[in-house]
Structure formats: C-alpha cells, structure tokens
Structure 1
Amino acid sequence: MTLPTSVDRVTAAYARLRALDRPEIWISIRDEQDALAEAATIDARVAAGESLPLAGTVAGVKDNIDVLGLDTTAAAPSFRYRPGRDATAVRRLRDAGSVVIGKTNLDQFATGLVGARSPFGAVRNAWDPSRISGGSSSGSAVAVALGIVDVALGTDTAGSGRVPAALNGIVGVKLTRGRIPTTGVVPACRSLDCVTVFARELGLARNTAELLTGPDGIDPLARTPDEAAQHAAGSVLPSRPRIGIPTADQLEGLAPGWAEAFRRAAARLGAAGVDVVEVDITALLKAAVLLYDGAFVAERYAAVGAHIDEHRDLIGSDLDPSVAAIVLGGAAKTAVELLHDREELDRLGSVARTALAGCDALLTPTTTWHPTLEQLAADPIGGNSRMGRYTNFANLLDMTSTSIPAGTVDGLPFGVMITAPAFHDLAVHHIAERLLQPAIDILVVGAHLTDQPLNQQLVSAGGTFSRSIRTSADYALFALDTTPPKPGLVRVVTGGTAIAGEVWTLPAAGFGTFVAALPSPMAIGKVMLEDGSAVSGFLCESVATIGTQDISGYGGWLAWLPL
C-alpha cells in the first residue's frame, strides 16, 4: 500500500477544512501554499532517506501555544502577540515531520472544560453540534475528531486534554507533568500545566506525545531523564494488572446510561486479563475541588490577571465574563490560604495513595455529563464545574492520565480515563491498549439473551449489548432438552424462517474465553442476517435437534418461552 505523501495529506486537510465549514474550530489558519511548501520539503527529506516519524501527518495547535508565523491569542484578541519562535512542543512536532496548518480555538486563557468560553465562538461538538465540545482544548479535539488533522496539541491543567477527547470520541494523552516542556505556552496555572496530544488512534497519540518529551534547557519545571528513569521502573505491569474503579456511590450523578457504560468498560478490562476492584476515591474527589474552590486559583491570576485587570472594560466582549470572574477571584487569595490548601493537598494525596495501594492504575469515567449549549448557557459556572469531577485532581497530585473512547450512549461518545502515579505513562498506555483491543460481534438467540439465565456469561466476558436483529429466512429454531432450557439454531435448505436475536460485542480475549467454554452441541459459525450481512453466532449441530420441538414458527426464543 502506498502511503500518502505530506503534500497529499496537506492538500486533503485544507479541502476537508473548507468542506466542513466549521470556522469556530480555528482562530487562525496558515496560508495553504506555505504549508504545501513545507510538506514538499518533508517529502524530499523522506525520499532522501531521512527518518521523520510523523511525516505524512498534519496538526493543529491550541492557540495558547506559540507557533512561529502565527499570532498567539489564548482566545483573547486583546492579548494577541506574534511569537518569535515555536514553542518547544511545536518545534519537536515539526522536527518529526508533521505540518501545522492552524491555531485552534479554546476556552479563553485555558480556563474551562466546556469549549464555549471564547469570543471566537463556541466550538460545537463533532457528533452533535447542539452540544458542547468540551474544553479548554476544544478546537484541537474537534479538528481531530472531524478528520481535518491527524494530531493536535492541547493543554491540560484541570482536564482540558481529556474531557474534550471523551466528548468527541477520540484519544487524549496527558503524560506526567513536566515531561513535555511548557516553554512557549501561555500559562493557566504554571506549576500544573501540561501539553497534551489528541489523535483518533491511541498509538499515534502516545507516540506523538513521547516525541515531544525531554528537557529543553529553558523550562525550569521540565522533568529530567534521570528523574523519569528512577520512577519508570515501577510502571512495569504484572502479568495480571490490578485496576481500581470508584465505588457505586462515587459514580452517582453521571448522565443517564453512563454508569452502565462504565461498568461495561470495566468488565471488558476484566475479560482482558485485568483484576478490577472497587476502591474509595473520596480523597481524590476532595482534592479535585481544591483546584477551583481553593487558593490554587491564585496562580491563574498570577498568569493573566494583570491583563484582565487592565482591560476590565472589555469584559463581556473581548474577555469572557466567566473566565474573568474566575481569574480575578484569584487575586483575593492569600499566601496563608495557599499554604493551608497545599497542606490539605498533601494529606489527601497520602490518603489517596493508601486507598490505591496494590493497584496499578485507576479507571474512571472521563467526565460526568454532556450538556447541550443551551443547558450550559443556563448555568455556565455550575455546568462547567461538573465536568472536572474525575480530572481535576490529576495534575495537583502529579499523576499521568489518558482518556480513551469506550463506546457510545444514546448515539454520543462515552470516554473513560486511566490514571496512574507520575512516570507510569507506559503502564497507562498498556492498560488502554487492553481496553481498546479488537472487538468481535456475536449473535445470541436463546439463554444468553438479555435477562436470560446465561446472559451473565457474556457480561463476564466483557460483552456489551449492540442491537436487536433478525436472521435471514434460512433458519430453524429447536427447543433443546437442556438445563437451563436453550434453543438450537440450524440453517436449513428449505422451510426456513427469520429468527429474532441480539448481537453482543466482546473483546477478542473475552470472545476466545467464551467460545472455549461452549458445551456440545453448541458451536460458533457465520449466521446470515435479515439485512444481508453476516455475523458470528450460536449454531447447533443438527443431530442434536432430532426428536426436539421445532419452535421456528414463534419467530424467536422469547416468543416461545412463556408458553
């Protein structure tokens, strides 16, 4: 297969950008001919034998990160400046062969988790434009989700590199704080900020993030390779990892269907060879509240408070009122309050580490709900605060965290997050790989149907309900003499009928375990469906149906069972 050249990919990116007509994604777009010239240079270097791991990709960059040749605004026109060089992360991205095509919209000054706090417009969700995209790295996430770019850089202080990933069905990687230098990044909370990476695939997101790591001799908070090596040894996963999940009461308040989707994700991990155990994350949830409700917000005022103070007359036009209120509120915090909050954070961190002792990582929903833009407008502060329940604590407690897709609920993406101690980045990646392993559909027509006696076998194997279906009219259904009662599905040459059933989706490992445990005379084979497609499903050896009742006329097991 011939891979697209950089020129081909850049050409396609601009064509898709124009076709989608989603101007709120972008704050500035690079001249197309300039980008094509850079792409041609990359193609020439690759042709000459140079190794450029990101050649053939295009990127977007959140507009609080400097890109040479484009203004930086942090979504505040009055803050606009033209940087003299790329941010360290951008330079490394370009050095690896990716072509940056523009600066993406964000919650102003990276303050928010909704993607609607920008004078450049609210960034609409990639799946449902009536809903929020999540923030603050909203434009970067949507540009990736819509296929305009392959990778995009964001930032994450409270969850901005993870929440929009979850709400748009993509991957958001936040490595250990300081592994990617923040040189050239407009600070939100300087001591907590992280540069993050979005992509549609876990491998690309993770590999891109690693290409950006390492000290640059400028960022004083950058972690050193020696520091990373010292801690990374503890990130090697055992053959059967142990993953903590919140208790049932700590999952209360999720959007309808999300708790069930989360439990299905946890079950898939269990089917993939992971021990899943409930842990009390009260200390983490209390730490999360400190980020905005405590004195740590003073660091936001230290970052951009002077600019907002000097331009109070622009609040409501150039400056977002919600952002201004949060940042200016930080000025009232005292050093004593900050020291007390740091002491409380230390205590909560110690309690959390004890609670998670023996666990290799923590699995949580990425966020709690997915409001419409109208719902958010009715309660902009409260609506935003709900978004960070499971994300806010990670940077405060120096943890690595990645958000990955975990299916859909009511047609919208649902995401889960894997969080672990600092420098356990590789462990998080491997756990995410297990959760994202290939899935296999299987048709069930009897005792494995929803609410039937053997359905738990599917659930235990990590199975999730996909859809109700009917087979093609080529099958007969027989009531077998078994305990518990179950039917046998047989394909016939003549006299067949369509049989009702369900399609469930299992991870590959769970599918293998499930099939290996099937007793005779049951077997797995291809079953034709009413719509002309085929799916793996339960079939029965025809010899086992001799002398049994043909119940095909009822159209399915459940229709016959009450009789």
Structure 2
Amino acid sequence: MPEPIGTAAVLRSAYSAGELTTVEIADRVLAAIGDPTGNPIWISTVPAAQLRARAVELHERRDELAVLPLYGVPFAVKDNIDLAGLPTTAGCPEFAYRPDRTATVVTRLLDAGAMLVGKTNLDQFATGLTGTRSPYGRCESVFGGGLIAGGSSSGSAVVVAAGLVSFALGTDTAGSGRVPAACNGIVGMKPTRGLLSVAGVVPACRSLDCVSIFTHTPDDAATVFRVAHGVDPDDPWARPLPADRSAARPPATLRLGLPRAEDLDFFGDLGQRDRFAAGQDRVAVLVGETEPVGLRPLFEAGDLLYQGPWVAERLADLDDFLRSRPDAVLPVTRKVLESGRRYDGAQVFRARHRLQELRAWTDRLWQRIDVLVVPTVGTTFTIEEIDEDPIGRNTMLGRYTQFANLLDLAAVTVPNGFTEAGRPASLTLVGPAFSDTTLIRLAAALAAEPSPSGPTVSGPTAAEPTVSDPTVSKASDASDDDRVLLAVVGRHLTGESRNPELIDRGAVLAGIGLTAPLYRLYRLPSDDGVGLPSLVRVGTSDGAAIEIELWRLPVNAIGGLLAGVPAPLSLGWLRLHDGREVLGFLGEAYAADDEVEDITAAGGWRAYRQAARTG
C-alpha cells in the first residue's frame, strides 16, 4: 500500500517549512490511485496531467500559502456532487451526465487551494447506509475483515481512512456522513442544513439533504467547514451561519445530555455498549453539567424518514427515471424508492404535523442541554450480514442518525476506539441548528490530540495511577512539554500483562489509533505461552495498518522502560496512519522468520487475542 497522505494541518506545516511541495504530493496521490486496493472506492478520477498541472500551478503560488487555508491539500468528492469535466453518476451508470459547472461547495474548496483528486463510490442515489448498494462494486471498511464501509458516502470515507486524500466530501440525509465515519474510524461532520451549498448536488431528499465532511481530525474538519460554508444564491435551501453562533463555546460551559440506559439499543453488541459507556464518560469529564435525556421522541422522528412519507420525497426527483429505466436501478434501491408511491397527500400532512410536534419537543430539550451524545451506530455488520437482511439491518444502522436532519440538528462523529472483537466504535455529538463550531470544538477536546496537527486518536481516558512511590507520583504530574507520545502494540496495551509498567511510570492513555500501512505483526514465542507481539516495518508492498495505543509518557521514564524491553524488540520511530512519526515498540526484522506466526490479518494484538479465545 502507498504511504498515507497527511492531514491538512500536517501538509500545511510541511509546505511552510519547505519540506514538501505540491508536486510531490500530487505524484504520491497518483501512485496511490494506481495501486490496486481491492476496494472499489473510485468511480472516476481527475486525469493525471490535470492533477499535476494543478500542483504546478499551486507550487508557483507558494507565496500565497498564508492566504490559502487548503493550499495543496488533496481531496475527493462523492459522485453525486458535480465536477465539470467528469461525469456525475450518483451510483447509476445509466443516469450519468456531464455537468457544465462545478458544484459551489467544491469551487469554494478549490479557491482555497485544495487539489481535487476524483469522485468516489456511493450507495446508489445516496439511498442506503451500508456501502453495498452500488453497481460499481462494494466498498469494504479500511479495517478489513469483510466489514461494511457504511454508506451512502462509502468511498469518501474509505479514501480518507486509507490515507489516499486528506479530506473528502459526502452527503448526509439519513446518516451518510456519520455511519461511514464510524465504520472507518475517522471524523464525520454533518453541518446544519443549508450552511454548505447543495447546488450541483444530485438530490436524495431535497428538504433534508446536506453536504458532509470526512477528515482524520476535528481541526481539519473545522478548517474545511470554515472554507466551505456560505450562502449560495443558486441554492434555495441556503441559510447563513448567524454571527452570534460563529464562535465556539468552550466545552466547560456546556450542558451535556446523556441518553437514558433504557433508550439505548445495541442490538446485542455488548462491545459497542461498553465502548459507548466509556466514551460518554470521557465527554462528561469535559463539560460543565450533565443531565439524563430520553431518546424516544428522536427515534419517532427518525422513523418518519423511511417509514413515513419522506420516502416519497426521495421518489419525487427520480420517479420519471425509475419508470422509464427500472432495470437500471438496483433491486434494493428500487424497492426503497418505489415504496414512496403508497403515500397520499393526507398522510404527508399528518406526518408533517407530527414532526412539528416532535420539533417542538426537541426545541424544549435545547433549553435544558447544549449537546447530546449518542452512539453513531448500535452495532456493525459484515457485507455478508447485510446481504442476509439488507433493509432491516440498514434501518438498524440509522437508529441514531436518521432523526438529525428531520429535526434540524447538527452533528459530529468521532472515533471511540475498538471493541474487544476488534470492531471500530464511535460516538456522535449532536446539537441544535447552528451549533456546528461548538460541536467541532468539543470533538477536538475529546480527540485529545497533542497538537492541532497531531495524530487522530481516540479511546478511553486512563485512570490516574494510584501509586505511593514519590518519584512515580512526580512523573505522573509532568506537563505535556515533559512528555513524549509512545505507541504500544502488544503486551503494554490496556489490560495486558505489561501495561502496569506504563501506569507505574506516570503514563496516561492518549487514545487508540492505527499505524501507517507499512507494517506486519508477528507473534514471537514467550515463556508463558501467550506470545510476544513484534511489529516489523516491511514497506508499502506488503504492509498493513495495525491497531496501536498512544500513551503520554514522562521523558525521564523512557530509559527505565527501555531497560525492560527484551530483544528482538526495541524502541524506534513508528509512522502513524496520518503521517506523523512517534516513538514506538518495534521488532527487528531478523526475528520474522518462517517459523514465527504472522498475525497481521487480525489487525492488532487485541483482536488476535480475542479471536484466539473465541476460536
């Protein structure tokens, strides 16, 4: 696999320091596109000559870096968003057309210096949350194992998670900017409807559609949002961001709504249940107040989207095409769209009246709280599991997302580590319309990044160490300037046998992340029979992304930790998924001989151990 493209913040820093040029990044992007990934994420790409010409143009304008917030940052867009020169398919080849104009939201990004790479796969006509409803192929999660990528913005999420671009645009009507983020361990921002122009976007459900943003970090999402939002006279649904809502509120001033336990449904997935419990506790620590909140009115509103007349709104823009070319539409997509024909005018108005009542309930909710935290998805599925019940399990995926646009809410999805089974977990911060900047600021605090350009991490906050040794206590009080970020991959992970060595030295868990796809993980023999994990760098051709934990360790504790590391392990520089280099445990290449067990396919030591216990 190719070397990942860094975050927008990382690239900007490298450009500013003269360590990287836009031409070099363009060549790296093109090399990545040329590598077969087995994941059908692209529907079309910008011609190589055109991308290089854009890179050269920007390189010649490098003195404008200070005024171009997205200078040289590669991005992708979902293929229901227009780009002049490339076809717009909306996931249906027979529907494809060549637009004369580029969508307004894309033009804003290009004007800010971004480099457009191509257009990504999606659930056909943006109808679905699985990423499996496309004639161009089915996207799989970046974590592999047959996991769905989530939809409908499947390709956009995967190209970001795989490090092929720094950010991507999707759309979000029922959760399509949040579910794919959850399935791929990245940030998904669903802005308030109307803030990002939908002119030049194929409608799914006009009154509810919005453009979404995928990034590795909340800071990148904030940057893209600042550039992309603005009233577009060509968009009849456009709304300005009120001046008094443009500044984010500090997390400590916020009142947080915590879902009542009886309203939460994880569909039997205890791993997701446990991860959400830990995640909401992390959010609660950051805010000023918390209050229990019932979710049932929200769920009732969400049910109106596919079990009410709003499905008829989806049909409104596609009915003529569907009647004239029914075989051009996938059976599952056609079934969903055609269900809109059963609603009459009276049913539409009854549903709108009920929705107004639910909106009034929600308005009263925001008088008591400022932010609500919910799971993004209650559980995850493999592609095979979706095939068993494509509509029913799609509905399960939308349980915590479908109500947002109907109730005029904003939302930001952030990673929340992994379950013991190795499945990605996430949570979503939800707020009233125009709370976008406040949500993204809270998301940034939750991500616990060491700097604005730091690695994308998330995970449970480690408990403060309880030790009596005064030297250890002093180390645990070290400031961030006196700490180093350390990546651990095996028996120093939380809950593993050597984790106390970190705790006793004052280390604090910063989060969970991934390596760049440059490594293989081996299980070396050990005296206790458990095995010793060894992470070996092998390069782009044979490497994979491996789950790691990031710990903040006092600098003066490194020597003592290193003294207890047995050969062939050592400490060295390890590259993260977003391009950052951090100190980490690595194994010498000589130890990876034919007799050593290669456990790379598990994706990490924790997942390997779980599979071994259940197998």
**Equivalent in the alignment of 1:366:** 376
TM-score w.r.t. length of structure 1: 0.78
Which deviates more from structure 2 when the two are superposed, residues 40-49 or residues 322-331?
40-49
Unaligned runs of 5+ in 2: 1-16, 450-457, 469-492, 505-527, 531-547, 572-582, 584-615
AA aligned to 2:82 is D
Distance 1:33 1:352, change over 3 A: same
Deviation at 1:353, TM superposition (A): 3.2
Out of 254, 262, 265, which is 1:241 matched to? 254
1:256-306 alpha-carbon deviations (Å, 9 max, x no partner):
311111111112123334433321111111111111100111110112122
Letter in 2 for 1:278: P
Q: Determine which structure has more spread, i.e. the larger CA radius of gyration.
A: 1
Q: What's the CA shift for 1:47?
A: 3.3
Shift of 1:112: 0.4
Structure 1's 129 and 24: CA in aligned 2 closer, same or farther, altered over 3 A? Answer: farther
Match of 2:345 in 1: 335
Measure the CA separation in 2 of the matches of 1:394 and 1:172.
14
Contact 1:471–1:530, Cα closer than 8 Å, also in 2: no
Cα pair 1:442 1:506 within 8 Å, conserved = no
Q: TM-score, normalised by structure 2?
A: 0.72
Partner of 1:493: none
Is the 8 Å Cα contact of residues 29 and 165 (structure 2) preserved in structure 1?
Answer: yes
Cα shift at 1:239:
3.5
Partner of 2:394: 384
Q: For residues 98 and 411 of structure 1, what CA distance do their matches in structure 2 show?
A: 34
Find the counterpart in structure 1 of residue 272 from structure 2.
Answer: 258
Matched with 1:76 is 92
Q: 2:194 is matched with which residue: 178, 183, 191?
A: 178
Where in structure 1 are there 5+ consecutive unaligned residues? Answer: 448-464, 477-497, 513-522, 536-563
Name the residue aligned to 1:560.
none
Separation of aligned partners in 2, 1:472 and 1:273: 29
CA drift at 1:21: 2.5
Per the TM alignment, residue 209 of structure 1 is displaced from its structure 2 partner at its CA by 1.8
Aligned pair in 2 of structure 1 residues 146, 385: CA closer, same or farther (>3 Å)? same
Query: Paired residue for 1:467?
Result: 495
1:284 to 284, 298, 305: 298
CA distance in 2 between counterparts of 1:31 and 1:237 reads 44
Tell whether 2:142 aligns with 1:114: no
Q: How does 1:472-487 map to 2 (within 5 A)?
A: none
Cα deviation for residue 527 of structure 1 reads: 4.7
Partner of 1:350: 360
Deviates more, 1:243-252 or 1:413-422: 243-252
For residues 418 and 35 of structure 1, do their structure 2 counterparts lie closer, same or farther at Cα, with a shift above 3 Å needed?
same
- The amino acid that maps onto 2:252 is S
In the alignment, which residue of structure 1 is the partner of 2:54? Answer: 38
CA distance in 2: counterparts of 1:366 and 1:49, whole angstroms: 36
Whole-angstrom CA distance in 2 between matches of 1:176 and 1:443: 38
For residues 467 and 34 of structure 2, the distance between their equivalents in structure 1, rounded to whole angstroms, comes to 50
Task: Provide the rounded CA distance (Å) in 1 between the counterparts of 2:187 and 2:312.
Answer: 31
CA contact (8 A) 1:281 1:352 kept: no
How do residues 515-554 of structure 1 correspond to structure 2 at under 5 angstroms? 527=561, 529-530=564-565
Q: 1:88 aligns with which of 104, 127, 133?
A: 104
Task: State the shift of 1:383 in Å.
Answer: 1.0
C-alpha distance in 1 between matches for 2:550 and 2:499: 20
What SS is found at the alignment partner of 1:401?
strand
Aligned to 1:482: none
- Equivalent residue for 2:236, pick from 206, 213, 220: 220
In 2, the alpha carbon distance for the partners of 1:162 and 1:14 equals: 28
Match of 1:124 among 124, 136, 140: 140
Conserved? CA contact 1:284–1:349, under 8 Å: no
Map of 1:140 onto structure 2? 156
Distance 2:464 2:435 in 1: 39
Q: Which residue of 2 aligns with 1:192?
A: 208
Q: Report % sequence identity.
A: 38
> Which of 292, 296, 308 does residue 322 from structure 2 map onto?
308
| Pair 131,471 (structure 1): closer, same or farther in 2 beyond 3 Å | closer
Residues 199-256 of structure 1 deviation map (CA, whole Å, 9 limit, x = unaligned): 111111221022111112110110035xx226658x6347342211211122223423
- Distance apart, 1:505 and its partner CA: 8.2
Residue identity opposite 1:429 in structure 2: I
Shift of 1:104: 0.3
Aligned residue identity for 1:12: R
Letter in 1 for 2:78: K
Q: What is the deviation of 1:22? A: 3.6
C-alpha deviation, 1:414, in angstroms: 0.9
Structure 2 residue 450 is the aligned partner of structure 1 residue 436: no
Task: Give the counterpart letter for 1:415 in structure 2.
Answer: S
Equivalent in 325, 332, 336 of residue 335 of structure 2:
325
In the superposition, relative to structure 1, how do residues 78 and 433 fare at CA in structure 2: closer, same or farther (>3 Å)? same
Inter-CA distance 215–346: structure 2 relative to 1 (3 Å threshold): same
Count of residues in correspondence between the two structures: 475
Match of 1:229 in 2: 243
- Contact 2:217–2:444 (CA<8 Å) still a contact in 1? no
Q: Secondary structure at the match of 2:70?
A: coil
Pick closer, same or farther for the CA change 1:468–1:395 going to 2, 3 Å. Answer: same
Provide the C-alpha distance between the structure 1 equivalents of 2:97 and 2:221, rounded to a whole number of angstroms.
29
The answer to whether the Cα contact below 8 Å between 1:178 and 1:223 also exists between their aligned partners in 2 is yes
Structure 1: distance between partners of 2:377 and 2:410:
16
Taking the aligned partners of 2:191 and 2:119, their CA distance within structure 1 comes to 22
Contact 2:65–2:71, Cα closer than 8 Å, also in 1 = no
Which residue is 1:403 aligned to?
413
Contact 2:251 2:441 survives alignment (8 Å): no
3-state SS of 1:404 partner: strand
Shift of 1:413: 1.7
1:413 corresponds to 2:424: yes
